[in-house]
């Protein structure tokens, strides 16, 4: 791991502003992916969508990856095995659960459920990594649980298990899959940057999803896809995946980890607004209360990162982060 010191060569205020803008854009683009995925889930087969969008993302990542091409030599069997697990959980299963889930539930519901990611990460870190569950994180978990309850109360109909509830369950499975990617990433030791990691995960995921996509293409003709469908695929891969990750990777080096975590509140808010303006979905009081609880959960889960002493260093423009980006 390399220690990165910020504030020596670039004025802290400017550097911090650039990083903040990049992180907010990254999470906003990630939020928009829910809306695009909703559109594609109803028009294009799931595995075909996954493969096409990942091919676009992989191609977009190659120019950035070229600057870190020597890192590939550090990979051994253990690291490749961990990457395969990351690809399976964090990309393949994540997209399968998300795209199938959005066939049954609304993008608005999905946007709030995905905001529970920090809370799920905290719980799995306690269970799998034996980390200590702090009081503020416990509050964040309870707030996230409250958001999930509010969303599903609006999905349930008297006397029956609605399709929307099933879709919400699939979206939650996607959240768990994405968190497992982060956990597996923590076990890597080869000093592989996030850029190289993401590029290789995209490639591995394409290989995993391609056989099923070929089966889908036996009954689905790509010529059926409209210009809007192809534009959605390009956006999903190039903007909502590749560009979002590149922005996050650069922005995360410019600002403290706490600010990065808090900035992810922009993801559910962006997705919720776009689901209304782009998809025309109706936002209910349940959505609004759920969004407030989800944002509260994210803030609570990130409160522990900044102590008064750290705040003094941050304001002075002097802090270090140990990151491999």
CA dihedral angle for residue 44, residue 48, residue 50, residue 54, rounded to 10 degrees? -120
Q: Region 314-319: what's the mean pLDDT?
A: 43
pLDDT at site 316: 43
Task: Please list, in sequence order, all residues whose beta carbon lies within 8 angstroms of the beta carbon of residue 256, skipping any fewer than 6 positions away.
Answer: 305, 306, 310, 314, 319, 321
Q: Which of 319, 61, 20, 105 is nearest to 201 (CA)?
A: 61
Model confidence over 27-82: pLDDT tens digits? Answer: 888 888 899 999 999 899 999 999 999 999 999 999 988 988 888 888 888 889 99
pLDDT at site 159: 45
Q: How many domains does the chain have?
A: 1
CA distance 170 to 275: 18
E strands, the chain, in order: 2-6, 319-323
- How many residues are there in the chain? 325
State residue 68 phi and psi, 5-degree precision: -120, 25
Range of the domain at 260: 2-323
CA distance 208 to 300: 37
Residue 69 burial by Cβ neighbours in a 10 Å radius (0-12, 13-18, 19+): exposed
**Which pTM value belongs to this model?**
0.78
Model confidence over 103-140: pLDDT tens digits? Answer: 988 888 888 888 777 778 778 877 877 777 777 767 77
pLDDT at site 218: 93
% pLDDT > 70, the chain: 80
């Amino acid at each position: 791991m390399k220690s990165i010191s910020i504030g020596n060569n670039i004025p802290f205020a400017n550097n911090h502003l650039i990083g903040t803008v990049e992180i907010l854009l990254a999470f906003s683009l990630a939020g928009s992916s829910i809306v695009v995925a909703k559109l594609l889930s109803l028009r294009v087969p799931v595995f075909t969508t996954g493969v096409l969008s990942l091919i676009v993302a992989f191609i977009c990542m190659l120019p950035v990856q070229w600057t870190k091409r020597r890192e590939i030599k550090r990979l051994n069997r253990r690291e490749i095995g961990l990457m395969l697990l990351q690809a399976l959980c964090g990309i393949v299963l994540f997209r399968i659960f998300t795209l199938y889930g959005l066939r049954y539930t609304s993008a608005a519901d999905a946007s709030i459920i995905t905001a529970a990611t920090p809370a799920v990460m905290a719980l799995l870190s306690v269970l799998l990594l034996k980390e200590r569950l702090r009081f503020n994180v416990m509050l964040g978990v309870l707030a996230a649980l409250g958001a999930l309850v509010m969303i599903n109360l609006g999905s349930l109909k008297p006397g029956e298990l609605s399709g929307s509830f099933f879709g919400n369950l699939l979206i939650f499975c996607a959240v768990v899959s994405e968190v497992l990617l982060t956990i597996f990433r923590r076990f890597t030791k080869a000093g592989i940057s996030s850029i190289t990691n993401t590029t290789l995960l995209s490639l591995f995921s394409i290989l995993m999803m391609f056989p099923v996509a070929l089966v889908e293409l036996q009954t689905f003709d790509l010529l059926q896809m409209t210009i809007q469908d192809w534009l959605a695929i390009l956006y999903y891969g190039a903007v909502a995946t590749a560009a979002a990750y590149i922005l996050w990777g650069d922005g995360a080096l410019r600002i403290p980890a706490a600010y990065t975590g808090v900035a992810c509140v922009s993801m559910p808010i962006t997705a919720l607004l776009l689901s209304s303006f782009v998809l025309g979905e109706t936002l209910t009081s349940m959505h609004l209360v759920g969004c407030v609880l989800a944002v509260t959960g994210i803030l609570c889960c990130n409160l522990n990162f900044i102590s008064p002493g750290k705040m003094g260093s941050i304001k002075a423009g002097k802090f270090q982060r140990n990151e491999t980006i």
